Amino acid sequence: MAGIKQPLQDVLAQLAAIQVTNMDNQVGNLYSRVWNNQLQYMDDGSGDVFPRPAAFVEVVSPAQYEAIGLGFRSADLGFRIHLIHDFYNQDGTMEQDLGIFDLRDMILANHNNPVNPGLSLFCPTACGAMVCVSETQDYSHKNIYHYILDFVCNFTDSKGSGYDTDAGQFDDTPNPNMDTQITATIGESAANIPDTSYFIIPTN
């Protein structure tokens, strides 16, 4: 059970685990933060300088939620990944940044990739598998390339429900006394209640 904060943090952490090489040929973790139109502020000098390459995460809004009962809501949630990459024509290919596509492939890699765990089929908290549904290239760039990947996954928001773990009203706890095997005799019924049965137990 979760609100929107935890899935967002999960996506940021998954991106930060990707190993990238910067313009100084130093290998490190991909810089990942929440999107706040950092490029605009970098261009006008009002924002902070950030390491590149970088990935910024935008939760696409508005999101259309559907009530599914007991205060739970469900929506197909969009995570927009803004990839920022430097290119300085070091190999003589003027204005042709092919390195951005290597970064794009890293993000699109399967989340179980042993070398480079990306976002494809990654399941943040309270979400289904993430799938990339669209991409936008940058056709008007100088030395900074801005590539966009749009991922979608189903998200269940529990924060409006009394059954949310943070609401403090209920505990989802296994009953320790429900693993008894009852032996049947002729004319009587038998019951076998497994120890995986759960009960919602009020905490007050």
Residues 6+ apart with CB under 8 A from 130: 11, 79, 111, 119, 120, 121, 122, 123, 124, 151, 152, 153
All structural domains of the chain with their residue ranges: 5-157, 168-202
CATH T-level assignment (fold) for domain 5-157: STM4215-like (3.30.2000)
pLDDT at 193: 47
pLDDT at 176: 54
Dist. CA 159–CA 123, nearest whole Å: 19
pLDDT at 95: 63
pLDDT at 86: 83
Tokens read off for 192: 């076998």
11, 30 Cβ separation under 8 angstroms? no
Tokens read off for 83: 């990839």
Element at 74 (helix H, strand E): strand 72-86
One digit per residue, the tens of pLDDT, for the chain of length 204 reads 689 999 999 999 999 999 998 877 889 999 999 999 888 877 666 667 888 899 999 999 999 999 999 999 999 999 999 999 887 665 555 566 688 899 999 999 999 999 889 999 999 999 999 999 999 987 776 678 899 999 999 999 999 998 888 776 665 555 555 555 555 555 554 455 455 555 455 555
Dist. CA 141–CA 47, nearest whole Å: 19
Residues 6+ apart with CB under 8 A from 143: 86, 87, 88
pLDDT at 174: 58
Dist. CA 145–CA 86, nearest whole Å: 6
pLDDT digits (tens, 9 = 90+) for 126-183: 999 999 999 998 777 667 889 999 999 999 999 999 888 877 666 555 555 555 555 5
pLDDT at 139: 76
Q: What are phi and psi of 185, to 5 degrees?
A: -115, 170
pLDDT at 59: 96
Global pTM reads 0.77
Q: What are phi and psi of 64, to 5 degrees?
A: -95, 110
pLDDT at 69: 93
Q: Which residue do the tokens 């005799």 mark?
A: 185
